[in-house]
Amino acid sequence: MTLDANTESIINKASKLGITDEVKIRDLRIRCAFKSMRSNGMKYEEALHKCSLQFCLSEERIKTITKGITVK
């Protein structure tokens, strides 16, 4: 997981207050994991497959969540 420390602390504080949206947090974690995989040279299809296994979601759902993420 490659969330920066500030983002992680905000999520933890919000969780303690009971004001988190679990789906949004999950989607953020998926986007971070996907971007990290792609930044490390993994092919698009491999990153989709690995994220779908890691987060127990279909590849189509991962595509929807990660739409618009580009890595240079």
Q: Match 């994220």 to its residue by tokens.
A: 51
Instruction: Tell me the C-alpha distance between 25 and 44, whole Å.
Output: 22
Q: Is 71 inside a domain boundary? A: no
Burial 29-47 (b: 16+ CB within 10 A, else e): bbbbbbbebbeeebeeeeb
Domain with 22 in it: 5-65
- pLDDT tens across 53-65, in order? 999 999 999 999 9
- pLDDT tens across 5-63, in order? 677 787 778 778 877 777 888 888 899 899 999 999 999 999 999 999 999 999 999 99
Per the structure, how many domains does the chain have? 1
Q: Evaluate if pTM is beyond 0.85.
A: no
Name the residue type at position 27: D
Q: Is 36 inside a domain boundary? A: yes
